[in-house]
Amino acid sequence: MTCVVNDLAELRQQVSDGCRVLAGRDLAPGILGHISVRVGDQLLIRCRGPRERGLAHTTPTDIHLVARDGSPGAAGELAGGWTPPHELPLHVEVLNARSDVTCVVHAHPADVVAADLAGVRLQPIVGAYDLPGAALVRGGVPVYPRSVLINTTELGVEVADCLGSYPVVLMRGHGLISTGDTVAEAVLRAASVNTLAGLSLKILGAGGALRPIPEEDLRLLPDLGATLNLATAWRHELARLRPHEDA
Per-residue pLDDT of the chain (247 residues; tens, 9 = 90+): 444 445 899 999 999 999 999 999 999 988 999 999 999 999 999 999 988 889 999 999 999 999 999 999 999 999 999 999 999 999 999 999 999 999 999 999 999 999 999 999 999 999 989 988 998 998 899 999 999 999 999 999 999 999 999 999 999 999 999 999 999 999 999 999 999 999 999 999 999 999 999 999 988 888 776 656 788 899 999 999 877 555 4
Domain boundaries, the chain: 5-238
The DSSP-derived string for 105-171 is EEE--HHHHHHHHTTPPP----SGGGHHHHHHHTT---EE---S---SHHHHHHHHHHHTT-SEEEE
Q: Tell me which of 10, 52, 77, 87 is the catalytic residue.
A: 87
Q: Where are the beta strands (DSSP E) in the chain?
A: 34-39, 42-46, 63-66, 103-107, 143-144, 168-171, 175-180
Q: Are 159 and 144 in contact (CB under 8 A)?
A: yes
Phi, psi values for residue 56, rounded to 5°: -65, -20
Which of 3.90.550.10, 3.40.225.10, 3.20.20.70, 1.10.1200.10 is the CATH number of 5-238? 3.40.225.10
Let me know how long the chain is: 247
For residue 87, indicate whether it is catalytic.
yes
> Which of these, 61, 104, 54, 56, lies nearest to 82 by C-alpha position?
61
- C-alpha distances (whole Å) from 10 to each of 16, 44, 60 are 10, 11, 9
